[in-house]
Every structure is written in structure tokens, then in C-alpha cells.
Amino acid sequence: MRLTLHCYSTALYSTWVFVDELRLLFDAGDGVAANLLGRAGKLRHVFLSHADRDHMMGLFQLVQLNPLGDRLVIHYPADCGSFPAMADFAARFDPHIKPPSWHPIRRGDEVSLGGNMLVRAVHNRHVAAPDNVTKSLSYFVVERKQVLRPDFVGLPQSEIKRMVGSLGREAITEVKERRLLAYSADTPVLAPDFWSGVNVLLHESTFLYQADSERMLAKSTHPHSHLGDVLAMTKLAQPKHLILIHFSTRYAAEQIVAEVKRLMSELELSFPVDLVLPGTVHRFELEI
């Protein structure tokens, strides 16, 4: 399977990730419509991670250009009041536009993309909240298939049909899932097994250095990740491909590249690592 990603992610300013073949968008920071141009009309699903303005302010133009009306579904963390307020304002500001569907979701919810594909919402720790409150989410793109149980693999097709008729399909099949893609959104580093089995992981790396992360945390209740922790965690999680996003503009591009290369060598990482550098749109064509 080929997935084409168009990504922009600069901490504080704007973040969005468009998955072309799946017609979905993770977050909708400023400038998303201007960069996607006609591709914006392909969108069927927008998955929003939280209500920080750099992840949502591109929604106004997406909604205004939306040719699909309520066939475009905007999924948002259920307990973020900013999104219903935005939906209400957009409806009054552009009353001539047929509005999209706004769909609140909670951790553990799954949204079908059609066929065997779905998106699963999972809790992260960017916004502190009780277990029954959903204000900040990460997302997995999952392929789910029903396959033969190992005991029945290799049997003639006629025998399989006979067993389905006598035992039922559930008796000889099982559900298999593949985590094709994961989008961390804003979050501190989570346990490696949270991301285990992921083919492609897009993970934030706001800070290059722990000291910068700690200084910011002293002033903010919304924690982020720093590069050393992210790479140490992914060495254990072992994604097949890592894409680092959400770098702070306090670092020059050359500084980011050099520090990533240094830590990759030090940790002896065995998988490719790509970067979405601040202020630039990146395109990735991935075989998954």
C-alpha cells in the first residue's frame, strides 16, 4: 500500500498532516487550504487532536471551500468547547455554505474510512484531564482484516466453504489488525508499547534539549516532547519509519538536522528518520 503525506508542522504556528489516498487530515493549522489547493476538496475526514490554535485555525477556510457539505466530517475531542463554538460561528459567518458534520469523539472511539480501514482515537497527556474527560487525542490509522486461523490455512477452498457452512465463519477466522500510521499530535513521550507495531510514526519533537523542555514546562501545563526522549523511546518501540514534527523555531534547520544525526548514531537506530523542518511543507511517499 502506498500512502502520500503532505505535512507542515511548526510549533506555536501551524500543524497539519494530509494523507492523500485516505482523504483525511490530521489537525488543521493555519495555511492548510492554501497549501493543499485543489486537494482540499478531496477531504472526507478531519481529525483534530486538541484545541490549541496552531492546530485548528485553518478550519475556517477548509469549511468555506468544502464542496461536500455534511459529507465532510470534522472529528474533535468531545470535551473541547472551542470546536462547537467554532462550528456555531462559522455557520453564522458563512450562512450560505452548507456546513460539514461536526463529530465529537472520545478515547477508544473508531471511525470507519471504508473497506478495511479505520482511525482509532487514543488518549495522550498533552492536556491534563480526568479519565472520563477527552481534551487531547492521538490517532492510529488501522487496517483490520478477517483472515483464516492458522489451523485452516492451506486447506482446499471447497473444504473451507464446507466448514463455514457447518461451523460458521467466526469459528475458522480471526481478526488481524495492522497499525499503518500513527499521529502523536502534541504530547510528552509515552511508553514504547503505546506505539508498538506501528509502520509509520509521526511524532512531535518540539524541543531539541531537555533543559529547554523543562524551562517551558515550568511556565505551561501542556507538556511536549524533546528529541532525546523521542528517539530513546522509538528505539524500543521500533516503528518501521519515524517522521519527526513540531520543532520549535528557536532552532535553526541545520541545528535540528545535526542533533538528529548525532543522536541517531549514538543510539544506533535501525529505521529511517525523516524531519518536517519548521516553515516548510514536506511530501512523503511511503510504501506500507
Q: pLDDT value at position 167?
A: 73
Q: pLDDT value at position 161?
A: 82
Q: How confident is the model at residue 193 (pLDDT cuts 50, 70, 90)?
A: very high
Closest CA to 120 of 44, 182, 58: 182
Cβ burial 103-114 (10 Å sphere, 16+ → b, else e): bebebebebebe
**Domain range 2-143+185-287, CATH architecture:** 4-Layer Sandwich (3.60)
Q: pLDDT value at position 158?
A: 79
Cell numbers found for residue 279: 516553515
Cell numbers found for residue 9: 508542522
Say which amino acid occupies 11: A
Q: pLDDT value at position 88?
A: 96
Q: What mean pLDDT is reported for the chain? A: 94
**Average pLDDT value for residue range 253-262:** 98
Distance of CA 54 to the CA centre of its chain: 15
Q: pLDDT value at position 108?
A: 95
Distance CA 237, CA 189 (A): 12
Instruction: Compute CA distances 163 → 9, 153, 157, whole Å.
Output: 52, 13, 10
Residue 62, SS3? helix
Q: How confident is the model at residue 169 (pLDDT cuts 50, 70, 90)?
A: confident
Q: pLDDT value at position 146?
A: 83
Give per-residue pLDDT as tens, 47-56: 999 999 999 9
Give per-residue pLDDT as tens, 126-145: 998 888 999 999 999 999 99
β-strand 198-204 against 241-245: which pairing, if any?
parallel
**Average pLDDT value for residue range 65-82:** 93
**Average pLDDT value for residue range 17-35:** 98
Rg of the chain over Cα atoms, rounded to whole angstroms, equals: 21
Per-residue pLDDT at 183 exceeds 80: yes
Closest CA to 10 of 208, 186, 284, 248: 248
Sequence spans of domains, the chain: 2-143+185-287
Distance CA 17, CA 183 (A): 9
Per-residue pLDDT at 69 exceeds 90: no
Q: How confident is the model at residue 91 (pLDDT cuts 50, 70, 90)?
A: very high
Q: How confident is the model at residue 44 (pLDDT cuts 50, 70, 90)?
A: very high
If one compares 31 and 167, the residue with the highest pLDDT of the two is 31
For residue 134, what is the enclosing H or E element?
A: none
